Amino acid sequence: MARIRHSMAALALMTILGGAPALAGGFLGAYEDLPLAPGLTEAVEAGVAFDSPSGRIVEAYAQGRVKAADVLKFYAATLPQLGWTRESDTLYRREAETLRLDPVVKGGALTLRFAISPE
């Protein structure tokens, strides 16, 4: 039921923004209702996702030549609309899951690590 609710929230967000640049990156393949910030492309081969007895564990990566501050601002505005509660710039919680965003800038390119795990 929660997955359906989150998918519907993602669909509503896409409808409201109507293809605006904020959703130009689409969504993570490893986690269907987590949007990619504008300018990021998922590194599909680098991610991993599996179910554990205590819940789903996902690690995904996205890269792009964007500012970390802009990406974190995008997630601060977008994730609460999808049911995530912001704990800090890089930590969010939803139901029994924790999402950590780990931005690393190297050579002018940003790599963002998404880590989702059960609480």
Most confident of 8-12, 13-17, 33-37, 112-116: 112-116
Q: Please tell me the distance from the alpha carbon of residue 51 to that of residue 10, in angstroms, as a whole number.
A: 22
Cα angle 102, 107, 109; round to 5 = 50
Enter the pTM of the model.
0.76
Q: What is the pLDDT of residues 35-81, one digit of tens each?
A: 999 999 999 887 888 887 888 899 999 999 999 999 999 999 999 99
Q: What is the CA radius of gyration of the chain?
A: 14
99: pLDDT strictly greater than 60: yes
